[in-house]
Amino acid sequence: MRNVGIVGVGHTKFGKSELPFIDMVCAAALEAMDDAGAKTGNKNVINQVFVGTMGAGMVSRISGIASAVVDTLNIRPAMAETIENGPASGASAIKLGYMAIASGMCDCVLVIGAEGMRAVSGWEGTDFVATMLHPEGEYKYGLTLPAFAGLFTRLCMDKYGLESRDLSIVSVKNHANACKNPCAHIQAPVVLERITNKAYINATNPIVADPLRQYDMCPVSDGAAAVLLVAEDKKAELGFGDKKFVKIAGIGSATDTHVVANREVPSDLLAVRLSAEMAYKMAGVGPADIDVAELHDAFQILEIAESEEVGFFKRGEGHIAARNGETALNGSKPINTSGGLKAKGHPLGATGVSQVVELVRQLRGEAGERQIPDAKTGLAVNFGGFGNNVVSTILTTK
Amino acid sequence: MDQMYAYKCTKCGKLHHPRYVVCQNPECDGREFEKLPLEGKCRLLTWTRVYNLPEGYMCPWLNFGIVEFENGVRVTGQIGFDEEIESGMELNATIGVVREKSILYKETVTAPQYGFIFQKA
């Protein structure tokens, strides 16, 4: 198969976007194109555009966003498709971009992930996200994603002795990292004592979905991120010869039962494990080779559980590694250097691409104050549904 | 009042909930199911109390749980009481209104939807 890699990245500041949705999507795209030196109009070399978004049609009321982007950016007649895989839409779009180039059909693919979530009320937003749950077995009850995270967290607490404070430790770490990321939605340090002290915890960190508190879950954000993929054998010919090439070494994706209750072990995230194993196998690496990881911490419990499922720590010991600081910037296995979904923000379709942008910045040595010294190989896990469709991506400069 | 069912594969006997199109037993390819009423005694595996509910619920919070019936079928539903909820407790699965209205094809359908509401055993 051909080698495929990234030569350009773009990322809007996550949060409440002041731009119309298409402008926000194009801002990320143009930043990635400019980073790579890709031209528009007659000099365009992009064959294909994929836009990963869960609800552009449903929430932002714009369907066919990929077609709109190609026209707005003046890169017609490039092929264009909008990709939906819930909150893993971004990583799925990158996967399809990889496949398009690896197959030989395309040489250069622009992938954008985007979501505008602040355009609607909290109620509507919660309902929109919940539509990915099983309609008969889950959604109709009023269940939401935070509800499933609460149910899952309690299972892990009962089974592994994980405590509410462990979730706060992960949250504090990710907030600290986000303070060093100019693209992050929330750039404010959080003090562990302030969100865990029993005397005032219900005021500073109220329960949202028992046992989960406000600081145990991500905020609601708008945002877009983009990467430009090229075939290594065409890199020079297409005009990207002098650009750093971050290789996509492995991609894995796997599905699990739609109904969470029907999983053989409801406290496991099987699709995370299977997708990571597939990505490791393709890349010819293992968990020990990963220098930096972006894990899908829509809820802090997920960072802990995923860190176990991808093989960094033994099952049931992820929270102990977090307690010991092993996942901090200066730890042995830095996780969510970007601030994670917790503090960088989680515009659903943007997240998978945003994770890969962070890895590219780390592997190029351009991550500023949050740089992991000498990072060569990174892993991103993008989690769709409540874990029923997960995409893992491994990048390397080795 | 609507009845809730376990769906029994007529080929291998595996019980399902909710309804599937193809039997979930990896060794079976059954596509026909017999409906067996599902309610009564069950055990709570995990629960949560949610304060941020989707549109349409005019209450400050709702309790949700995943239970396992004696026949091994697991279902998710609402918990109909607030006090002394504990994982592992015995419950009684009843059937009641779990959503007053739902939005289908841009039209608000006000017909209530029925589902599991777990009560103290």
Across the interface, whether the CB atoms of B18 and A144 are under 8 A apart is answered no
Question: In this predicted model, what pLDDT tens digit does every residue of A293-314 receive, in sequence order?
Answer: 999 999 999 999 999 999 999 9
> Which of B46, B49, B98 is closest, CB to CB, to A141?
B98
Question: In this predicted model, what pLDDT tens digit does every residue of B109-118 receive, in sequence order?
Answer: 667 889 999 9
Q: Which of B17, B117, B23, B25 is nearest to B77 (CA)?
A: B117
Question: What is the residue-wise DSSP string for B75-105?
Answer: EEEEE---SS--TT-EEEEEEEEEES-EEET
Q: Which of A179, A188, A221 is nearest to A350 (CA)?
A: A221
Domain map (residue ranges) of chain A: 4-121+220-240
Say if residue B48 is in the same domain as residue B86.
yes
- Classify residue A198 as exposed, middle or buried by CB count within 10 Å of its CB (0-12, 13-18, 19+): exposed
Evaluate whether A397 touches A388 at the Cβ level (below 8 Å).
no
Q: Chain B contact for A350, CB < 8 A? A: no
Say if residue B60 is in the same domain as residue B103.
yes
Say if residue B81 is in the same domain as residue B55.
yes
Q: How far is B74 from chain A (nearest CA, A)?
A: 6
Q: How far is A385 from chain B (nearest CA, A)?
A: 16
Say if residue B60 is in the same domain as residue B81.
yes
Question: In this predicted model, what pLDDT tens digit does every residue of B38-78 receive, in sequence order?
Answer: 999 999 999 999 998 887 788 999 999 999 999 999 999 99
What is the torsional sign of CA B84, B87, B88, B93?
positive
The Cα–Cα gap between B84 and B71 comes to 25
Domain tally, chain B: 2
Chain B neighbors of A146, CB-CB under 8 A? 50, 52
Q: Residue B1 pLDDT > 60, yes or no?
A: no
Q: Chain B contact for A147, CB < 8 A? A: yes
Q: Chain A contact for B10, CB < 8 A? A: no
Q: How far is A146 from chain B (nearest CA, A)?
A: 8
Chain A neighbors of B57, CB-CB under 8 A? 142
Q: Chain A contact for B76, CB < 8 A? A: yes
Chain A neighbors of B71, CB-CB under 8 A? none
Supply the pLDDT for residue B101. Answer: 73
B97: CATH:
2.40.50
Across the interface, whether the CB atoms of B76 and A259 are under 8 A apart is answered yes
Supply the pLDDT for residue A282. Answer: 98
Q: Chain A contact for B20, CB < 8 A? A: no
The Cα–Cα gap between A367 and A370 comes to 6
Say if residue B9 is in the same domain as residue B34.
yes
Supply the pLDDT for residue B109. Answer: 64
CA B51 vs. chain centroid, Å, equals 20
| Domain that includes residue B21, residue range | 1-38
| Blockwise average pLDDT, block size 10, chain A, 398 residues | 96 96 98 98 98 94 96 98 98 98 98 95 88 95 97 98 98 98 98 98 97 97 98 97 96 98 96 98 98 98 98 98 98 98 98 98 98 98 97 98
**Range A4-121+220-240 has CATH code 3.40.1440.10:** no
Across the interface, whether the CB atoms of B48 and A124 are under 8 A apart is answered no
Across the interface, whether the CB atoms of B64 and A141 are under 8 A apart is answered yes
Q: Which of A225, A214, A230, A237 is nearest to A294 (CA)?
A: A225
Query: In degrees to the nearest 10, what's the CA dihedral of A247, A272, A148, B86?
Result: -140
Say if residue B53 is in the same domain as residue B21.
no
| Average pLDDT of every residue of chain B | 93
Q: Chain B contact for A158, CB < 8 A? A: yes
Percent of chain A with pLDDT over 70: 100
Across the interface, whether the CB atoms of A266 and B66 are under 8 A apart is answered yes
Q: What is the mean pLDDT of residues B23-49?
A: 97
Supply the pLDDT for residue B105. Answer: 57
Supply the pLDDT for residue B112. Answer: 85
- Three-class HEC string of chain A: CCCEEEEEEEECCCECCCCCHHHHHHHHHHHHHHHHCCCCHHHCCCCEEEEECCCCCCCCCCCCHHHHHHHHCCCCCCEEEEECECECHHHHHHHHHHHHHHCCCCCEEEEEEEECCCCCCHHHHHHHHHCCCCCCCCHHHCCCHHHHHHHHHHHHHHHHCCCHHHHHHHHHHHHHHHCCCCCCCCCCCCCHHHHHCCCCHHHHCCEEECCEEHHHECCCCEEEEEEEEEEHHHCCCCCCCCCCCEEEEEEEEEECCCCHHHCCCCCCCHHHHHHHHHHHHHHCCCHHHCCEEECCCCEHHHHHHHHHHCCCCCCCCHHHHHHCCCCCCCCCCCECCCCHHHHHCCCHHHHHHHHHHHHHHHHHCCCHHHCCCCCCEEEEEEEECCCCEEEEEEEECC
Say if residue B17 is in the same domain as residue B7.
yes
> Which of B52, B65, B98 is closest, CB to CB, to A126?
B52
Q: Strands of chain B (E only): list them.
A: 5-9, 15-16, 33-37, 40-50, 62-69, 74-79, 90-99, 102-104, 107-109, 113-120
Evaluate whether A156 touches A162 at the Cβ level (below 8 Å).
yes
User: b/e for B64-95, b at 16 or more Cβ within 10 A?
Assistant: bbbbebeeebbbbbbbbeeeebeeebebebeb
Q: Chain A contact for B109, CB < 8 A? A: no
Q: Chain B contact for A388, CB < 8 A? A: no
The Cα–Cα gap between A210 and A302 comes to 16
Q: Chain A contact for B40, CB < 8 A? A: no
Question: For chains A and B, what is the number of CB pairs under 8 angstroms?
Answer: 107
Percent of chain B with pLDDT over 90: 79
Say if residue B65 is in the same domain as residue B83.
yes
Question: In this predicted model, what pLDDT tens digit does every residue of A196-249 receive, in sequence order?
Answer: 999 999 999 999 999 999 999 999 999 999 999 999 999 999 999 999 999 999
The Cα–Cα gap between A113 and B3 comes to 43
How many CB atoms within 10 Å of residue B99? 18
What is the torsional sign of CA A344, A345, A346, A349?
negative
Evaluate whether A211 touches A164 at the Cβ level (below 8 Å).
yes
The Cα–Cα gap between A270 and A267 comes to 9
